[in-house]
A = this chain, B = another copy of it.
């Protein structure tokens, strides 16, 4: 009855490092995982942050050299939450050492890099995971189940958005998110809108992009100013393989919006509307409801919507953002034990490719196949 161990190393202890640590701590308490998770080593750039994280997150050891993790024979899984520019080198070294790799999004600044990473992982036969945790929401699972079961009929259209306002202040300085290699609102958060669109409706086949820079320059942090080359918002028209059409938008200057990862999907028999601002709900309209009694129905997350019931035994209590990470961890740990990978490097690459196609389409002012 003793479970095998899955030995974990974590690189990075910032927001997402903490989220991974949270996932590793709570997933085993919520799910019946196929492994016992053993937290071996955590790495960060300073001794102080690494040692603090080790104790807070429950890791046995800490280091300021991330290669102590990728080179450690005893470690099975490497979590990478370091800056984006390092994802590739860390992943490739971990894969070369035969480790499973759990990497935060974006997988790499450019699709070409992501492709190299995906190919390496596939060649090595390791299991990979990219952090697109919004997809782990039980209400997304419900939506996909309903679509798959034909409850909406033939899917006709889709509208998706991921809007926040963390770049609304033109006096905010240039950051790594403004780096022309991989930066911009479409890449940073529009990528979530694209992941959700394909999760629900299936493959996108063509795109027409509209990427816009509204704040032309920002303080460079050294007393000067720096021109901004990346988009503050990126829109796209979409064609799907199943015949549906749609649109998405990624936007980081959408004043007042903190987490608007929303979608609406409509078919010949029904529709679904979702807002991340109330992410424990899914709104469902059915044309088969009785005349005079039709309307969007606010379905609250409940034990009927797995795996919600593992978190809360009653409807309406609600899971939180970090719980999505625990679901992601559980899915990935199950994949290591043989289940399908929920969102592997190949899928991460796909999102990067879509982003780049939309950017190129916008630059060229024409539709592109993807």
One digit per residue, 1 when the CB lies within 8 angstroms of any chain B CB and 0 when it does not, for chain A 237-269 equals 100000001010101011111111000101111
Q: Does A367 contact B (CB under 8 A)?
A: yes
A253 touching B156, Cβ below 8 Å: yes
| Alpha-carbon distance between A18 and B26 when the two chains are bound, in angstroms | 11
A235 touching B247, Cβ below 8 Å: yes
Q: Closest CB-CB distance, A340 to chain B, in whole Å? A: 23
Q: Closest CB-CB distance, A163 to chain B, in whole Å? A: 9
Q: Does A300 contact B (CB under 8 A)?
A: yes
Specify which of B260, B281, B292 is in contact with A142 (CB 8 Å cutoff).
B292
Q: Which of the candidate stretches A176-184, A316-324, A345-353 sits at the interface with the other chain?
A: A316-324
A26 touching B28, Cβ below 8 Å: no
B277 touching A256, Cβ below 8 Å: no
In the complex, how many residues of chain A place their beta carbon closer than 8 angstroms to a beta carbon of chain B? 94
| Alpha-carbon distance between A166 and B303 when the two chains are bound, in angstroms | 13
A266 touching B258, Cβ below 8 Å: no
> Mind listing 25 A-B residue pairs with CB under 8 Å?
A18-B30, A22-B30, A25-B29, A26-B26, A156-B214, A156-B232, A157-B233, A157-B253, A157-B254, A165-B266, A253-B266, A255-B267, A255-B270, A255-B287, A257-B316, A258-B315, A258-B316, A259-B314, A260-B316, A291-B304, A296-B297, A296-B298, A312-B322, A318-B320, A320-B323
**Interface, chain A (partner B; CB < 8 A):** 3, 15, 18, 21-22, 25-26, 28-30, 32, 36, 55-58, 142, 152, 156-157, 159, 164-166, 168-170, 208, 210, 212, 214, 232-233, 235, 237, 245, 247, 249, 251, 253-260, 264, 266-271, 273, 276-279, 281, 283-285, 287, 289, 291-300, 302, 304-305, 311-323, 365-367
